[in-house]
Amino acid sequence: MTAEILSTQHSEHAILIREINKKMPDTRRLETLAGLYRAFGDPTRMRILWALSYSELCVNCIAEMMDMTQSAISHQLSFLKQVRLVKFRRDGKTIYYSLNDSHIATILAQGMDHIQELAAD
Amino acid sequence: MTAEILSTQHSEHAILIREINKKMPDTRRLETLAGLYRAFGDPTRMRILWALSYSELCVNCIAEMMDMTQSAISHQLSFLKQVRLVKFRRDGKTIYYSLNDSHIATILAQGMDHIQELAAD
DNA sequence: AATACATATGAACGATTGATCATGTGTGCA
DNA sequence: TGCACACATGATCAATCGTTCATATGTATT
């Protein structure tokens, strides 16, 4: 669908659209940003991230906490690793995961504030 | 899968797990939070929210900006309305959407800061 | 009332996702 | 070297998602 075949657009609208398009971050960057939020957008990953905000944890510990299989957790950790939300260190056989930086805990807390406010309506 | 059939857990781990479980927000709340972030986790919705952070916009305007059909945008706005990220007002035939509160723009900006930092490595 | 415009909505369909199962890799210990 | 433990990974499958198409609703104008 192209812009041309859209029905009558008031000229004021056309101007507004151009202005906002100039200010908008480019689409690639917004896709990256959406990708970041997608990582927070699943209950399992959300619980993992929240748990890691308290302490580094090994894979089996997380699996036990979430009452889920080690495989499921490992897949999700792999996802979180890819988008660089978590890092890990090996100690013998066990691997400890932790949040990649403190910024992430801040994002979690801010989101929690938001839903808290909504609930207070 | 139950906790019992998991292999040997060091007792230190068991204690840590119980402690974190006590501190964690309850699962229902975390699911709501994940639901909020899922709304940010799609490129189309992300672009819509970003555009609305500059100005309220009518549906056709958004569709033109995104170069997408009115129907697709309308569906996504419906989603965003459900999770209360946007609100709307009617003016004659056209309906103007806007961010539900300024908090949301802050969340967007914070996410952008985060990926900016990652890119700077 | 009839028409045009702006938006909403239900059904359908391909694409993606998250969990599972089976198996592979890596580490430590006897 | 052989075995057990901790974790990773590829394939598979049901469920969910995002878009499209067709159509419905709501509002002004004539």
Q: How far is CA B72 from CA A62, B40, B44, B68, in A?
A: 38, 16, 9, 7
Most B CBs within 10 Å, among A10, A11, A18, A20, to test the B interface: A20
Average pLDDT estimate for B14-32: 93
Q: Lowest-confidence range among A16-20, A73-77, A115-119?
A: A115-119
- Model confidence over A86-101: pLDDT tens digits? 999 999 999 999 999 8
Q: What is the pLDDT of residue A7?
A: 45
- Model confidence over A46-79: pLDDT tens digits? 999 999 999 999 999 999 999 999 999 999 999 9
What is the layout of strands, in order, in the sheet containing A57-58? A57-58, A94-99, A86-91
- Model confidence over B35-60: pLDDT tens digits? 999 999 999 999 999 999 999 999 99
Q: Is the CB of A75 under 7 A from strand D?
A: yes
Q: What is the pLDDT of residue B9?
A: 59
Position B26, amino acid: D
Rounded distance between C-alpha atoms, residue B53 and residue A33, angstroms: 15
Q: What is the largest CA-CA distance in chain B?
A: 67
- C-alpha closest to that of A105 among A83, A81, A76, A85: A85
Please check whether residue B22 is in contact with residue A54, taking contact to mean a CB–CB distance below 8 angstroms.
Answer: no
- C-alpha closest to that of A54 among A110, A97, A3, A113: A97
> Which one of B36, B50, B51 has the shortest CB-CB distance to A115?
B36
Q: Tell me the two tokens of residue A48.
A: 């993992």
Please check whether residue A28 is in contact with residue A56, taking contact to mean a CB–CB distance below 8 angstroms.
Answer: no
What residues of chain A lie within 8 A of the CB of B37, using their CB? 37-38, 40-41, 46, 111
Cα separation of the two ends of chain B? 40
Instruction: Give the three-state DSSP class for B84.
Output: coil
Rounded distance between C-alpha atoms, residue A39 and residue A77, angstroms: 10
Residue of B nearest to A111 (CA): B33
Q: Residue A54 pairs with which residues in a beta bridge?
A: none
> Which one of B36, B39, B50 has the shortest CB-CB distance to A30?
B50
What residues of chain B lie within 8 A of the CB of A37, using their CB? 37-38, 40-41, 46, 111
Report angle CA A62, A66, A68 to the nearest 5 degrees: 95
Average pLDDT estimate for A104-118: 88
Please check whether residue B66 is in contact with residue B107, taking contact to mean a CB–CB distance below 8 angstroms.
Answer: no
Q: Tell me the two tokens of residue B43.
A: 């490129």
Whether B120 has its CB under 8 Å from any CB of chain A: the answer is: no
- C-alpha closest to that of A83 among A41, A23, A111, A20: A41
What residues of chain A lie within 8 A of the CB of B57, using their CB? 16, 20
Ramachandran angles phi, psi of B91, nearest 5°:
-135, 95
Residue B33 parent element (H or E) = helix B27-40
